[in-house]
Amino acid sequence: MKIDFKKIKKVYLNEGKFSADEVYAVALIKIINPNIEFERKIQMNKNNESDFFIEVDDKMFNLYEKANEKIKEDRKLSLTAFIFNFVKKDLIKKYNITNRECAIKLCDSRIVEKVSKLDLYDRIRDFPEHRLIELFNCNQYEEEKGITDDNQQFSLAVEFVEIILENRMREIYECTEIRKIENKIWKEAEKNSEDGIYVLEESIPWQYQIRKNPNSTAKMIIYKSDRGGYNVVSRNQDEIKVQKSDYLSFIHPSQFMGVAQTLQNAILAAKNSLGLQLETA
């Protein structure tokens, strides 16, 4: 069965206490169909199991039943896993991720599998967000305040999970796209380099770039320090050491690196370490 989740008009869920799986399922649908409506009014079925109906083209489908029509090795699918198979392409596209295969694997391991283990095997320790989602269920506080609308609490839980999903996808974007960004930063530094001095726009694992291209002309690498100032690092401290000078505010005892307070001083320190003639005003 192929479902166009963009055409879903409404989702109907069980009333009463809701699970992380249900919340994640709705949040995933909302990624590609932000105007989706939902209502929690269905009672548990005769087997005391959940139902999750969707309305598409004036037809009703029970996704719990559809998700588990084909059971392999006695393993059922969680709603989150089932819906992810339908929305994953739109999800990856939304975040402009080019390495789709890697992104899908990360989504599976960091989001889908964790929800599924919780829903099917009660593996709470693998999914700490579960405890926070549970807190959105109505309890004595809501009763004393006269709040009896479970839809309101479910809506808040969905908003919470949407934020979690957003941050998870930002994390996955960085993991999948970071190498491409690092390559761009390195190539820019290589293009603008002089005398083997590479000034990086941002701190990246430049050693990977050297391993990838052992014939690189880089001798000294400069980039912003997390503690302020600029790091001046020798590509190979056995061949070239960072020399002590007034341009540096700190130098490591092994002289593989030093720190300058300004970019100009960092470049001068690198030139001094390479034995180059320094420009004087």
- Between β-strands 59-62 and 197-199, what pairing exists: parallel, antiparallel or unpaired? unpaired
* Short-list 163, 169, 142, 146, CA closest to 87: 169
Q: What is the pLDDT of residue 74?
A: 44
Three-class SS of the chain: CCCCHHHEEEEEEECCCCCHHHHHHHHHHHHHCCCCEEEEEECCCCCCCCCEEEEECCEEEEHHHHHCCCCECCECCCHHHHHHHHHHHHHHHHCCCCCHHHHHHHHHHHHHHHHHHHHHHCCHHHCCHHHHHHCCCCCHHHHHHCCCCHHHHHHHHHHHHHHHHHHHHHHHHHHHHHHHHHHHHHHHHHHCCECCEEECCCCCCHHHHHHHCCCCCCCEEEEECCCCCEEEEECCCCCCCCCCCCCCCEECCCCCEEEECCHHHHHHHHHHHCCCCCCCC
Question: What are 36-56's pLDDT values in tens digits?
Answer: 888 877 665 555 455 787 888
The C-alpha atoms of residue 56 and residue 10 are separated, in whole angstroms, by: 8
Q: Which amino acid is at 124?
A: I
Q: What is the pLDDT of residue 48?
A: 47
Intervals of the chain under pLDDT 70: 1-2, 42-50, 67-77, 118-127, 140-143, 147-149, 279-281
Asked if 59 and 13 touch (Cβ cutoff 8 Å), the reply is: no
* Strand-pair partners of 233: 221, 257
Q: What is the pLDDT of residue 89?
A: 86
